[in-house]
Amino acid sequence: MEYQIKAPAKLQASIQLPASKSISNRALILHALSYSPYDIVNLSDCDDTEVMVAALNSDSKDFDIKAAGTAMRFLTAFLSKIVGEWTITGTERMKNRPIKLLVDALNSLGARIEYIEKEGYPPLRIFGSALQGGEISLSGGVSSQYISALLMVAPLMENGLTIHLEGNVISRPYILLTLQLMEQFGVKASWTGQTIKVVPQEYKPIPFTVESDWSGASYWYQMAALNKDAEVELLGLFKNSLQGDAAVAGIFTQLGVSTTFTDKGVTLKKNGNLCAKLVYNFVNEPDLAQTFVVTCVLLNIPFRFSGLQSLKIKETDRIEALRTELKKLGYLLTVEGNSVLTWNGERCEPEEHPVIATYEDHRMAMAFAPAAFAIPQGICIAEPQVVSKSYPHYWDDLRKAGFEIKD
Provide the annotated active-site residues. 287
Distance in angstroms (rounded) separating the CA atoms of residues 245 and 251: 10
Under DSSP, the state recorded for 347 is: B
Evaluate whether 69 touches 98 at the Cβ level (below 8 Å): no
Under DSSP, the state recorded for 291 is: H
CA 356 to centroid of chain Cα atoms: 20
**Number of Cβ atoms within 10 Å of the Cβ of 299:** 17
DSSP bridge pairs for 197 = 162, 190
* 281 to 141, 194, 262: CA distances (angstroms): 14, 20, 29
Distance in angstroms (rounded) separating the CA atoms of residues 237 and 18: 10
Burial of 228 (C-beta count, 10 Å sphere; 0-12/13-18/19+): exposed
The torsion angles phi and psi of 92, rounded to 5 degrees, stand at -60, -40
Distance in angstroms (rounded) separating the CA atoms of residues 27 and 33: 10
Residue type, 310: S
Distance in angstroms (rounded) separating the CA atoms of residues 391 and 378: 21
Evaluate whether 319 touches 325 at the Cβ level (below 8 Å): no
* Of 107, 193, 112, the residue nearest 150 (C-alpha): 107
* Of 175, 146, 8, the residue nearest 69 (C-alpha): 146
